[in-house]
Amino acid sequence: MKTRVCLLTLFAGVVLLIASPMAAQVLYENGPISGETDAWTFNEGFTPSDSFTISTGTSTVTGLSFGAWLSQGDVLQSAQVELSSGELGSGTIYFNGVVNFAQSDCFLNNYSYNVCTETGNFTPTPLANGTYWLTLQNGVDTLGDPVYWDENDGVGCHSPGCPSEATESFTGSIPSEAFSILGSSSGTGSTPEPGSLFLFSSGVIGVAALLRRKLL
């Protein structure tokens, strides 16, 4: 009986060792979620974009985690994600697709918005060392309300190249947002420390859009 228990324990340990390398590492993080500063709309025609740096050697990006501000009771379902060489999806496009997100660690902020960590995986995308841009747009949520990307100004970031530069399709240059780029690397270069994440601003067309694009 003791032998069987030992064998089962050893087997479980081997399974964990095999599974561990499959966990995505943080390739870049722009600091933890703020949740109380501001945020920028990434639906209703508005598009924020943040830079990020790959410094871990040739890497494969497999996912994304970021902070979202949502109306109470709302859930982010998906968003269009772009990884490109230039801001707002310009230049070379490395990935462009609709990504489904899982929501966790929500809390109610002082502005009565739920601030949640959103995590999604997508087609593995190889990137060499360099600076790229992450763009979010066309967010889809259960209530059909504006959805926002948490602004944290890169405070508390640890990755080479942080804090991110950021821009928005109507406003131009803006403070940067909270997010992490996930994946695996060759192990050559500096590995950033894991970070947390982040969202906020709103939108409608015309003058109303100017008033609602930035939430605060």
Can you give the pLDDT at residue 56? 87
Reported confidence tier of residue 190, pLDDT bands at 50, 70, 90: very low
Chain segment 102-145, per-residue pLDDT in tens:
999 999 999 999 999 999 999 999 999 999 999 999 999 999 99
Which contacts of 86-93 are long-range, i.e. CB under 8 A and separated by 24 or more positions?
Answer: 86/133, 87/49, 87/51, 87/133, 87/135, 87/165, 87/167, 88/47, 88/49, 88/133, 88/135, 88/167, 88/169, 89/47, 89/49, 89/133, 89/135, 90/133
User: Of the CATH numbers 2.60.40, 3.40.1350, 1.10.12, 2.60.120, which one belongs to the domain with range 24-212?
Assistant: 2.60.120
Q: 23: pLDDT confidence band, cut at 50, 70 and 90?
A: low
**Banded model confidence at residue 213, pLDDT cuts 50, 70, 90:** low
Decide if pLDDT at 19 tops 70.
no
107 or 190: which leads in pLDDT: 107
- Look at 8-17, 33-42, 185-194 and tell me which has the smallest mean pLDDT: 8-17
pTM above 0.85, yes or no: no
